[in-house]
Structure 1
Amino acid sequence: MRAQRSELVAGVVVAALVTGCLESNPWFEEPTASGAAASTTQAPTTGGTTAAPPPTSSTSAESTTTTTGSETTGLTADTEFSTSWPLSTSTTEWFSTGDPWTCGDGVPEGPEQCDEGADNSDKGACTTLCTTAACGDGFVQTGVEMCDDANFDPSDGCVACVVPHSCKEILDNDPQASQGQHWVDLDGPEPMPLIPVYCDMTTAGGGWTLLERSPRSDPIGRALFKDAPENPGNPQAPRYRMPRGAMGAAAVISTAMRLDCGGSDYLLTAPQSLFAGEFGPPNCTNAGPVLYQEAELKQYKLTNVQLCTVFVGLGDGQCAGAWSIDEENQYDCLLQAYPWAGNNEAISPPSADAFAVDPQQVDAGHDCHKPDAVRRIMVR
């Protein structure tokens, strides 16, 4: 009997200890599949008193009430100590806890547009910023772009990620390109650097690169085949002419040459005619036939016609006029006189040096012979 009494006492002690341990954390719950504690918890009872349930964790701060016996206590859940489960893996959560992706690991993820790992390159299709190469991003993609200055100014030597060789190429890549000074690379990858040029973007479809601007009041008056630059660094100057080398480079990449004086009178020929007369006589007899696709004088228009043209001018020894046409004197080139009206009918005064701004004989009704006339020679 004594032994049984001892065993009974021991059992009561163990039960009491176990009950005490359980009551030290009476609100413990297993995480639910939804990531939040059950909305209703059955509170254990001790000695007829209802134990208060724990505050429910939440990802947003909200008011929670806890009841103990007859007392009600207001508690506020703190987001910082949230115990919701499982932890969120949304993009928003990634940004709030730090980027989980790494540009260069070969796996496009998050905001990356691409990721080729070790092959990422600022010269390739996927940049070192894990962005897809595109014109305007400031990186030059090998084999695709010639330049990329990250702006949309077509006049600075880079237009639509192309280094332009001519005003025509600028206009082709940017139809809204403005008239005025632009930078071009006339000879492509060769040693000649970018140079400033004047682009006429309106005359006859635009895209013309200016080679010479010669005012009637102060004419240049030199044969085009001679190297006689005027203000080569300032193509907007009133008196301007490219160096011969640059003029030749511009002609090589062009398909047309135009001469006009700002009105309806003009000549249109092949750019290969630019240096015509180079191997002619070294005096005022230096003239020869030139084939013009179009030639208009005083509203008389000719197409695909040869006209005898004088290449030397006032500055070359008081000659008739640099690049001029005397409709009366076409016989020097074995051509028929008075080509515009025909039937030996002249439309200008005798021996007038049409299209020259340094003429020996003037036609007051001709665009190029007006006091404020400015002659332009352009290629496209």
Structure 2
Amino acid sequence: MRGPIVGRDGVDYTGAMGAARSEVVAGVVVAALVTGCLDTNPWFEEPTGSGGASSGMLSPTTTGSTTAEPLPTSTTSSESTTTTTTESTGGTTSETTWIETTDTGTSWPLSTGTTEWFSTGDPWTCGDGVVEGPEQCDEGADNSDTGACTTLCTTAACGDGFVQAGVEQCDDANFNPADGCVDCVVPHTCKELLELHPQANDGQAQIDPDGPEPMPLIPVYCDMTTAGGGWTLMERSPYNDPIGLALFKDAPENSNTPLATRYRMSRGTMGAIAINSTAMRLDCGGSDYLLTDAQSLFLGDLGPPGCANSAPVLYQEAELKQYKLTNVQLCTVFVGLGDGQCPGAWSIDEENQYDCLLDGYPWAGNNEAISPSSVDAFAVDPQNVDPAHDCHQPGAERRIMLR
């Protein structure tokens, strides 16, 4: 009668029978678990057969007239080998079964970074021309930080910090509209900045009046509230300390400090902004203002020398002391005190319109003046003053702006 052939449960493999059956038991691995481990493996039943139970080792499952409970399927990846020995005694068949389990490992992503991750153990590589893992694109050697697919294998987009050639003008990867890059566009004027970012506030900003070349970004003051906003300041001249020079003269004042009380751009910068502008506004912070075409900025440049340098200017709107005119020509003097003690830079004398062959007293009409005699309205360097006029108030600042 043959006894069961067992493994490492303490039962001895004996005699030639063990040698004859060596091909069966050669690969057997016995699960050696102490009794305390059984609680964490509830699918194993407490062994009831003999043969090593008292040693504390897991005994083999012996089947006779009953069938052993099947082992449950593991949720981990593994390979199992089953070896069975059979013995008959007195008409009773006894089978002893041993289970060899080999863990084959589990595959899962080990990293989800943008440079390397693992699926079934193989890394992806940005630049190999194959879109895989977290890559949005991969054009191989054509990946470029100025192209449609960046060197990070991400699709080019505004805000990624890369400037896509032919699509973006800039990309600073932030949402500050005042730094010279708004939605990947470099604004030429404050008007363009406001169109790109309608929530922009009054204050200093960076613009590029002539595009990428040759002028760099420059600081400017943007008025985003007056008359719809989008105004770029050309000159700020205080009544108490006026600049007093014709606008066509190149006379910059604090040109890199647009928040200064006394401020004026260079003529070249003003001209570059005028090319991208349509309107010019002159006001002194109150209701009095003049509105004309942006190309009027340098009028008088080719005019006669001296204080006779004046000409009719077409104003879309002109308001003085609550008298408002539209689409009206007004004789305008372009030179001021700093140009040789002239009446005032960019001023209007409602009485003296005859030098331009225009009718006098245009505001009220019927030869009726609305200001004292010979007032140089809208000048902040006037020879003749109207104390009730916005531009002649103590502390007044005249602004000339383009949009």
Judge same fold: TM > 0.5, yes or no: yes
Deviation for aligned residue 1:159 = 1.5
| Cα contact 1:323–1:356 (8 A) shared by 2 | yes
List aligned pairs for 1:285-324, cutoff 5 A: 285-324=308-347
User: Partners in 1 of 2:277 and 2:73 — Cα distance?
Assistant: 80
Matched pairs, number: 340
Contact 1:58 1:84 in 2 (8 A): no
RMSD between superposed Cα atoms in Å: 3.2
Q: Deviations over 1:77-133 (max 9, x none)?
A: xxxxx9556843567796598662211122222211222222211101111101111
- Is the contact between residue 310 and residue 325 of structure 1 (CA under 8 Å) also seen in structure 2? yes
Q: Is the 8 A contact 1:91 1:110 kept in 2?
A: no
* Counterpart residue number, 2:60: 52
Residue in structure 2 matched with residue 19 of structure 1 by the alignment = 21
Q: Distance in 1 between matches of 2:148 and 2:329?
A: 53
Which residue number corresponds to residue 67 of structure 1? none
Q: Measure, in 1, the Cα distance between the counterparts of 2:52 and 2:294.
A: 111
* SS of structure 2 residue aligned to 1:245: helix
Q: 1:173 aligns with which of 174, 196, 209?
A: 196
Residues 204, 221 of structure 2: 8 Å contact kept: yes
1:271 aligns with 2:279: no
Name which of 107, 116, 130 aligns with 1:88.
107
Is the counterpart of residue 183 in structure 1 residue 206 in structure 2?
yes
Q: Secondary structure of the equivalent of 1:22?
A: helix
- 1:356 Cα shift? 0.3
Return the offset for 1:343.
1.5
Cα distance in 1 for residues equivalent to 2:247 and 2:121? 68
| Partner SS for 1:17 | helix
Q: 1:249 to 1:48 in 2, by over 3 A?
A: closer
Say if 1:300 and 1:340 are closer, same or farther in 2 by CA, change over 3 A.
same
**Separation in 1 of the partners of 2:372 and 2:215?**
45
Q: 1:332 to 1:130 in 2, by over 3 A?
A: same
**Structure 1 pair 48–136 and aligned structure 2 pair: CA distance change class (3 A):** closer
1: CA distance, partners of 2:146 / 2:371: 62
- Aligned-residue sequence identity (percent) comes to 72
1:104 and 2:122 matched: no
Displacement of 1:136: 1.3
Q: Mean Cα displacement is larger for which, 320-329 or 100-109?
A: 100-109
2:166 to 143, 153, 156: 143
1:114 aligned residue: 137
Cα drift, residue 189 of structure 1: 3.0
Q: Which amino acid aligns with 2:337?
A: L
Residues 39-78 of structure 1 correspond to what in structure 2 (within 5 A)? 51-52=59-60, 59=76
Unaligned runs of 5+ in 1: 1-11, 30-38, 61-81
DSSP-derived class of the 2:21 partner: helix
Q: Does 1:368 align with 2:391?
A: yes
Q: Structure 1 residues 83 and 306, CA, compared in 2 at 3 Å: closer, same or farther?
A: farther
Q: How big is each residue's C-alpha offset from its partner over 1:351-371, in whole Å with a ceiling of 9 and x where there is no partner? A: 111100011111111100111
Structure 1 stretch 20-29 or stretch 210-219: which is displaced more? 20-29
Q: Supply the distance in 1 between the matched residues of 2:302 and 2:312 (Cα, whole angstroms).
A: 14
Check conservation: 1:368, 1:375, Cα contact below 8 A.
yes
The two structures have a TM-score, normalised by structure 2, of 0.77
1:350 has 2:373 as partner = yes
- The residue type paired with residue 333 of structure 1 is C
Higher helix share: 1
Change (3 A) 1:151 1:327: same
The residue identity in structure 2 corresponding to 1:19 is R
Partners in 2 of 1:99 and 1:172 — Cα distance? 49
In the alignment, what sits opposite 1:64? none
Quote how far apart the aligned CAs of 1:185 are: 1.1
Deviation string for 1:172-197 (max 9, x for gaps)? 11112222111111111331222111
Q: Distance in 1 between matches of 2:225 and 2:293?
A: 20
The whole-number CA distance in structure 2 between the counterparts of 1:26 and 1:187 is 84
Q: CA deviation at 1:56?
A: 9.0
Q: Residue 221 of structure 2 aligns to which amino acid in structure 1? A: Y
SS of the residue 1:368 aligns to: helix
**Match of residue 333 from structure 1:** 356
